[in-house]
Amino acid sequence: MDFEQETPILQNGAVKSSLIGRTAHNMSSSSLRRKSDLTLVSKVRFGCLRLLLVNLQEVILGTKIWFLFPAIPLAVLADSLGFGRAWVFVLSLLGLAPLAERLSFLTEQISYFTGPTIGGLLNATCGNATELIIAIFALSKDKIELVKYSLLGSVLSNLLLVLGTSLFIGGIVNLKRQQTYDQRQAEVNSHMLLLALVCHLLPMLFPYVRGSTDVVVAEALRLSRASSIVMLVAYVAYLIFQLWTHCEFFEPDKELEVYNDDVVQEAPTIGIWSIVAWLGGVTILIALLSEYVVATIEDVSESWGLSVAFLSMILLPLVGNAAEHAGALIFAYKNKLDITLGVALGSATQIAMFVVPLCVIVGWIMGINMDLNFNVLETASLALSIMASSSILQDGSSHYMKGLILILFYIIIAICFFFTSDEVIIVHSQLSRVHLN
């Protein structure tokens, strides 16, 4: 296939494309991409070789964090040669960062062929695919607490650390400028997060209200599964609201103008079959590294003297979402808070209302008793985080002090789980299984 057929380009070298349907998550990830110069590649005579070089340049070298790709083969090599488990864990985490960003890039490329509506739907549902893959692998190993901690950590990271750091940096850089944002987007996401909180609270409180018996714990599991179905239905309604009926809440025209410095040059850089092939390869690599992370995290916890709770809640979200988090900071630096809020709140909503209940349903299918009872301390942390972020965002304006408060919230919670002992988690998990079985 010729390069001209694989990558449609207008005569002036530009392709105009609609930005409708793109999510803030995708906009954030795009801030870490590099514009490729295909001048030399286009002069290669052999079509297959030219196509291969274009794909490698666009997919591998098309991100500013391309230098992390060597961590992927190094992780495989470290596992094959029996290196220390800590090496496998660290290299796997580093390799997941560029893969997560490239996954976002590939889903955006699909939108050029499928249209903005389906493209936006893919972006809205695949934004946290890395977390979902890690969670499913942990579920397959019956590591329910690891699933809960990693997903809860992603929500807290977005609501407190990403949002707080963005508001803080944006406030410092734009100290003499008024920082405002559209409150409507923040309100919708806050309401969705409150619904998620209710679905977490009720299964946790159920045994305390009805009495701690075997029957009650089993009923709490059924309540979790029913609540998960409700949450997935609510998330479908949220997607309809976000992508069709009220898309102006999430993609204001003024933000679309700054999505890219040269929007008119946007075009599909690789063909549809290349995209499908790369998507399959990237997904396989994410699954492989996710398996390494799940298999080594307990050994790393023991060797480093850190609890699995701390590693799952603090370290995993930081690395897995590094690309989009960096993008959120960049847009806050540019005083584009609507996109920043879309990244932080949108990602938190997606995990809480889609990834978590989907894990419960998948666990149900697999015969694993995954529920929405995240224990008292964890659920309280979630509740306080939602309350703090909602309160800070209610007036439609921002300054650095708001960001600092959210950062300090996150530090306090991180310190709390730093001192959390895994023995408590193991005992609670064993008691729950005894009741359920």
Q: How would DSSP label each residue in 214-239?
A: HHHHHHHHHHHHHHHHHHHHHHHHHH
Structural domain total, the chain: 1
How far is it, in rounded angstroms, from Cα 276 to Cα 262?
26
Asked if 279 and 57 touch (Cβ cutoff 8 Å), the reply is no
pTM over 0.85: no
Given this model, what pLDDT does residue 322 score?
72
pLDDT category at 333 given cuts 50, 70, 90 is confident
E strand or H helix at 308, and its extent?
helix 308-310
**To 10 degrees, what angle do helices 400-418 and 376-392 make?**
180
If you write DSSP's letter for every residue of 129-152 in order, what string do you get? HHHHHHHHHHHHTT-HHHHHHHHH
Asked if 267 and 56 touch (Cβ cutoff 8 Å), the reply is no
The reply to whether 433 falls in a domain is no
Supply 41's token pair: 């590649």
Residue 187 has pLDDT above 50, yes or no: yes
How far is it, in rounded angstroms, from Cα 6 to Cα 28?
26
Phi, psi of 63 (to 5 degrees): -125, 150
The reply to whether 13 falls in a domain is no
The reply to whether 120 falls in a domain is yes
Q: Count CB neighbours of 73 within 10 A.
A: 12
Rg (CA), the chain: 22
Of 40-49, 326-335, 342-351, the range with the lowest mean pLDDT is: 40-49
Residue 24 has pLDDT above 70, yes or no: no
**Exposed / middle / buried, residue 127 (Cβ in 10 Å: 0-12, 13-18, 19+):** buried
Tokens 């999505």 belong to 259
Name the DSSP class of 179.
E
List C-alpha distances in Å: 226 to 122, 139, 220, 235, 378: 25, 19, 10, 14, 21
The reply to whether 428 falls in a domain is no
The reply to whether 53 falls in a domain is yes
Supply 432's token pair: 């729950």
Tell me the CATH number at 52: 1.20.1420.30
Given this model, what pLDDT does residue 263 score?
41
Q: What contacts 240, CB < 8 A, 6 or more positions away?
A: none
The reply to whether 431 falls in a domain is no
Given this model, what pLDDT does residue 30 score?
61
Supply 313's token pair: 């809640």
What average pLDDT does this structure show over 343-367?
92
Helix (H, G, I), strand (E, B) or coil at 65: coil
List C-alpha distances in Å: 312 to 93, 119, 131, 221, 435: 12, 31, 11, 23, 26
Helix (H, G, I), strand (E, B) or coil at 247: helix
> Tens digit of pLDDT for each residue in 264-288?
345 677 788 888 898 899 989 999 9
Q: Which domain holds residue 214?
A: 24-29+44-252+269-420
What average pLDDT does this structure show over 114-120?
67
pLDDT category at 422 given cuts 50, 70, 90 is low
**To 10 degrees, what angle do helices 129-140 and 144-156 make?**
160
How far is it, in rounded angstroms, from Cα 263 to Cα 13?
13
The reply to whether 115 falls in a domain is yes
The reply to whether 352 falls in a domain is yes
Tokens 């295909």 belong to 38
Burial code of 205-215, b = ≥16 C-beta within 10 A, e = fewer?
A: ebbeeeeeeee
Supply 285's token pair: 């690599």
Residue 100 has pLDDT above 60, yes or no: yes
pLDDT category at 25 given cuts 50, 70, 90 is low
pLDDT category at 414 given cuts 50, 70, 90 is very high
Phi, psi of 148 (to 5 degrees): -65, -45
* Closest to 353 measured CA to CA, from 201, 227, 172: 227
Helix (H, G, I), strand (E, B) or coil at 17: coil
Residue 7 has pLDDT above 60, yes or no: no
Pick 252 or 146 by higher pLDDT.
146
